[in-house]
Chains A and B, each alone.
Chain A
Amino acid sequence: MNQDPYKILNINHNATKKEIKEAYNKLVKQYHPDYYKEKHMKELAEQKMKEINEAYDYVVNNGNTKQYDYDSEYTQSSSNSQNQSSGYDYGYIRNLIQSGRFNEARNILNEIKVRDAEWFYLMGVVEISMGNYNQGRVYFEKAIRLDPQNQEYQAAYRQTVNGYFFSRRAGHARTDTDTCCQVCATLWCLDCCCECSGGDFITCC
């Protein structure tokens, strides 16, 4: 199953058994193949019903787990810069992504067993950069769910959905360089002005 079963059933993760059942019944009423006369619509409805049934089975069987975790071994809600159990530093993976080595970054991420919010975020960046936009979006959603306070994850999701993920990243990089250049230029100007008026702002030059 590629999609979030809770999303398919249109329920939140803390839904009670009664709420799950009600949501399921509502969807069955809406999408039951018998309601559609046209052959192709019937086929579509059958596919949709299959998804709904799979999602319902999953939610009922794993209903006691609070954290959403349907395709990973387990997740951890804390976001650390160092993933202790795997020994890999997320900073290194960030550098790989920065230098465009996405396959390498993806391989290392796949080796990590403990998947926290940072893992989902980085995987989202890798997937989007490789052209898998849907998958990337899903990973960002998971990262936000695990760490709702993190502004970086929220910004990445917003930028993806609004279609300026890459330009914003490039913009940040450019702004940083500009600021650095501006500081250097200002210091140099100040030093020149001071030297002209008989003083010295930076003694070494």
Chain B
Amino acid sequence: MFGYIRPIKNEFENYLFKAQYCCLCKVLGRQYGFFSRNILSFDITFLALMLHALSKHVFVYRYESCIMHPINKRRVKKPNQIDFSCAEITVFLAKKKIEDNIKDEKNLKRLFYRFLNHIPFSWNDQLTLENNPLNRLFSDFDAMEALKHIGSDQLSNQFGKILEHIILYTSERTQTLLPEQTTHFAFLIGKLIYLLDAFEDIERDLKSWKYNPLIFENKEIILSYPKKHDAALFIRKEERWRLFLLLDHIQYLYSFLREFLGVYMTEIDGIISKSLPAMINKVIKDDTNQAEKGDFHESRPL
């Protein structure tokens, strides 16, 4: 995943998001090998947070040291079935990403990803997702992207469906009863992740002429602006209404979902009301709204 759904820096330090992150990191290390800790993303941590909040299970924290912080012990949540399931999803997504990169990249980079794919991080033996409908959704998504003339709504919706199925799969595995709106909420979060990634890649994709639905939908801008940087700026300006509308949609749906949250409400509230607007402003490079600007961890917070 991409790590767009995360708290702003000062909230990360103060709240329980960090304990959840450390818990997933430790589960990954124990279940799938030390190196698999590197594939953990903020998005999956948010997913785990949501599932815990909706399941209303009681859970405990303990203080543990880790290889990155051998002296100062950190608060870590004791893992439960939800964490094991989220760790499995993380590994599955990383595997898909590596397979995707093998297809897309060339020369040395491709060799590197092939090498990575063959390192037995104890992944393949433990993944039970191989015959899951998620695989079909991923291949549909790849096929749509390969066509190179699909609009941003269709592609982002397909990515949203993947996240919708991930939350369904995890809730089935952990026998968590989800409110009706959860799947659509997950769909919108997936859609947002895809669109944020497409926005962030506009300049890079323009330079390398890689397919990006936002560029495809604005052909006339590319043809009218001789400088790619200007064209990228214009596309960002033209298309940002999608992100604002999507944020509005997510916040609207969350107002219904909020009633069902048992724990982590402060953390999730913070992400939905502060971090997402700040992340959107960061991606569209809008410096005008100072109040909503946020400071994010640029790397993993280990």
B265 at the interface (CB under 8 A from A): no
A60 at the interface (CB under 8 A from B): no
Residues of B within 8 A of A155 (CB): none
A90 at the interface (CB under 8 A from B): no
Interface secondary structure of B, over-half rule: helix
B255 at the interface (CB under 8 A from A): yes
Q: A131-B160, A131-B191, A166-B248 are in contact. Are A44 and B241 (CB under 8 A)?
A: no
Residues of B within 8 A of A132 (CB): 153, 157
Q: Select the stretch in B34-42, B47-55, B110-118, B219-227 that faces chain A.
A: B219-227
Q: Which chain A residue shows the least CB distance to B215?
A: A44
B223 touches A41 (CB 8 A): yes
B204 at the interface (CB under 8 A from A): no
Q: A165-B248, A170-B252 are in contact. Are A131 and B153 (CB under 8 A)?
A: yes
B248 touches A45 (CB 8 A): no
Residues of B within 8 A of A167 (CB): 248, 251-252
A161 to B244, CA, bound (A): 9
B245 at the interface (CB under 8 A from A): yes
Q: C-beta contact mask, B214-235 vs A, less than 8 Å → 1, else 0?
A: 0001011011100000000000
Q: Which chain B residue shows the least CB distance to A127?
A: B153
A15 to B98, CA, bound (A): 54
Interface secondary structure of A, over-half rule: helix
Q: Which of A140-175 contact B (CB under 8 A)?
A: 160-167, 169-170
B219 touches A47 (CB 8 A): yes
B252 touches A48 (CB 8 A): no
B3 at the interface (CB under 8 A from A): no
A166 touches B222 (CB 8 A): no
Q: Which chain A residue shows the least CB distance to B191?
A: A131
Q: List 20 A-B contacts (CB under 8 A).
A: A30-B223, A31-B220, A31-B223, A36-B223, A41-B222, A44-B223, A131-B157, A133-B153, A133-B245, A134-B151, A135-B153, A160-B241, A163-B244, A164-B244, A165-B245, A166-B249, A166-B252, A167-B248, A167-B251, A170-B255
The 10 A-B residue pairs with the shortest CB-CB distance, nearest first, are A163-B244, A166-B252, A40-B209, A163-B245, A166-B248, A48-B219, A44-B219, A134-B153, A166-B249, A131-B157
